[in-house]
Amino acid sequence: MTPRKASAAVAAVAPAVAPLGAHISTAGGVLNAPARADEIGATAMQLFTKQANRWAEHDVEPATAVAFRAAIAGSGVRFTNAHDSYLINLASPEPELRAKSIASFAAELRRCHALGLDALVSHPGNFMDERASGIARNADGIVQALEQEVGPTRLLMELTAGQGTVIGSTFEEMADLLGRIPATLRKRVGVCLDTAHVFGAGYDLTNDCAGVFTKFDDVLGLDQLGLLHLNDSKVPLGSHKDRHELIGVGLIGEGAFRAIMTDPRLATIPKVLETPKGDDMVTNDRAMLSLLRSFSSPNRTTAGRRKSRS
């Protein structure tokens, strides 16, 4: 299906309420996450399956997997995804780091499959030496892990802000990376678009939000868009920095998020917050989700939206 045909197919779908939620704490174990998602009224949930800043790996015990799936089935959550470890760098030219990264990435996929998660979000790596070689190494690492770990979870590569030597800050470069995945595996891979990241990369969501998604469709195809991370930005357009802010408080502004929540092309795409939690993550996440839902409700006034965040 061509990107334009994909757009037509998406537009033809009857309006629907996509799963909407936030990154949820797994403190005390993954079994605690579904109840926490319910506490904030989330229908989508992102989590870590391990400590994101440590290399230590583990497999999910069968009993834990069964209990987690039952907890999700009994909750209001309709979409689940994990975010992989921040230490992983599949593009690294250093053999030891790259081997460790591929092993850790495969373990992330294995845990996601065991838990029955819909998706795993992963940042492209840092090339560190030469960009084209780094993209090739990144793709090769993805292929190795996908071939090793077969299961239901879809891998979503996340667009980046373009800081330093990181890969994947433009739609064209992400298309290059995904284009290196063999056709037999490509249906298991898609894209996660983070609003703060693409704003930092130079895509003007503030003044041309619809146009940004049209460009995404032209280059990658909306059928590749598996998840939206909704975050405002502390830093300006094109800064190439990744600094998340509360919706409507940052430099992207409420207008872009209202456009996203009402764009029929994005009606069925799951959406997850990664906004600052502050001292009270339940209250802050509830307020942010209420604000986002108000954008797609014609009966809510601007005053009402402001009040929902107080």
Return the residue matching tokens 């942010």. 288
Cβ-proximal residues to 93 (8 Å cutoff; 6+ apart), any chain: 127, 128, 129, 133, 134, 137
DSSP 138: H
Q: Strand 20-23 relative to strand 44-47: parallel, antiparallel, unpaired? A: parallel
DSSP 126: B
DSSP lists the bridge partners of residue 229 as 194, 272
Cβ-proximal residues to 161 (8 Å cutoff; 6+ apart), any chain: 169, 196, 197, 198, 200, 201, 239, 240, 241, 242
DSSP 149: S
Phi-psi region at 147: left, alpha or beta (left = phi > 0; alpha = psi -120 to 50): alpha
Q: Pick from 37, 35, 27, 142: which is nearest to 81 by CA?
A: 37
Q: Pick from 45, 47, 58, 69: which is nearest to 111 by CA?
A: 58
The predicted structure's pLDDT at residue 16: 61
Residue 33's identity, in one-letter code, is: A
Distance CA 43, CA 265 (A): 19
Which range of residues forms the domain containing residue 243? 3-308
The predicted structure's pLDDT at residue 299: 58
The predicted structure's pLDDT at residue 45: 98
Output the CA torsion 245→247→249→250 (10° steps): 50
Residue 226's identity, in one-letter code, is: G
Chain centroid, CA 171 distance in Å: 15
DSSP lists the bridge partners of residue 244 as 233
Element containing residue 25 per DSSP (H, E): none
Q: What is the CATH number of the domain that holds 303?
A: 3.20.20.150
CA atoms within 13 A on the CB side of 216: 27
Q: What is the pLDDT along the chain (310 residues), one digit of tens a residue?
A: 444 444 444 444 334 689 999 999 999 999 999 999 999 999 999 999 999 889 999 999 999 999 999 999 999 999 999 999 999 999 999 999 999 999 999 999 999 999 999 999 999 999 999 999 999 999 999 999 999 999 999 999 999 999 999 999 999 999 999 999 999 999 999 999 999 999 999 999 999 999 999 999 999 999 999 999 999 999 999 999 999 999 999 999 999 999 999 999 999 999 999 999 988 889 999 999 999 999 987 654 443 343 333 3
For residue 233, give both structure tokens: 């930005």
The predicted structure's pLDDT at residue 226: 98
Return the residue matching tokens 């207008």. 255
pTM for the structure as a whole: 0.90
Cβ-proximal residues to 20 (8 Å cutoff; 6+ apart), any chain: 42, 43, 44, 270, 271, 272, 289, 292, 293
DSSP 198: H
Distance CA 44, CA 255 (A): 23
Distance CA 153, CA 151 (A): 6
Tally the domains of the chain: 1
Distance CA 41, CA 261 (A): 17
